[in-house]
Amino acid sequence: MILRFFRPGIGAALLGARVLFAVVLSPVALAQEAHQPAPTAQSAEESAFLAENDAAMTKMMNDMAAKPSGDIDRDFVAMMTPHHQGAIDMAVIELRYGKNERLRRIAQEIIVEQRQEIDAMKLAIGEPVTDTTPAQTQQPGATPGAAATIHDHMHMHHDMMKQETK
């Protein structure tokens, strides 16, 4: 009876999710490794993109390993907030380096929507929402178009969230 060694709760759920994740991704990762083309030389920009993206993913995964508090709702928010923040961080990186205008627009939407979800979850458990200072999305010397759009959306959202809490 393996199940009796696990107590029901967030820890068991996390363990189960990790095991399922590993089982599902292992064959996919192995299949992709076998079919990847020979590595090509990376540009400095691509190297910077990959390094920033790897750092964002590592931070997200580390931050999602929240210690259970005994409050399922707070634990959910504690794990989902870094998950959503990871999406924001990766979208910001796309805005810094990406060239495809469609993907850049999607990245802008991800930033706004994920921030809204983080704020909604925090409000649901009585925590204050965070400041919506825009992230640096442009490389030095670049034109500020995308950053200005995100900045405007974030402030509009922040004002709406403040009104909801009154």
Share of the chain above pLDDT 70, in %: 54
* Token pair of 27 as six digits: 């064959």
- As for how many domains the chain has, the answer is 1
Which is higher by pLDDT, 62 or 152?
62
User: Is there a domain that residue 132 lies in?
Assistant: yes
- What's the DSSP call for residue 3? G
Percentage of residues of the chain with pLDDT beyond 90: 51
Does residue 155 belong to any structural domain of this protein? Answer: yes
- Model pLDDT, residue 3: 47
pLDDT for 135 equals: 58
- pLDDT number for residue 130: 77
Q: Which of 49, 56, 135, 53 lies closest to 98 in space, CA to CA?
A: 49
Calculate mean pLDDT across residues 145-154.
Answer: 49
Domain of 87 in residue numbering reads as 44-165
Q: Residue 134: its pLDDT value, please?
A: 57
Whether residue 25 lies inside any domain: the answer is no
CA distance 77 to 73: 6
Q: How far is CA 101 from the centre of its chain?
A: 21
Residue of 83, 85, 77 lying closest to 123 (CA atoms): 77
Here the tokens at position 17 are 């999710």
54 falls within a domain: yes
User: Tokens 């850049």 sit at which residue?
Assistant: 104
Domain contains 26: no
**Position 10 in a domain:** no
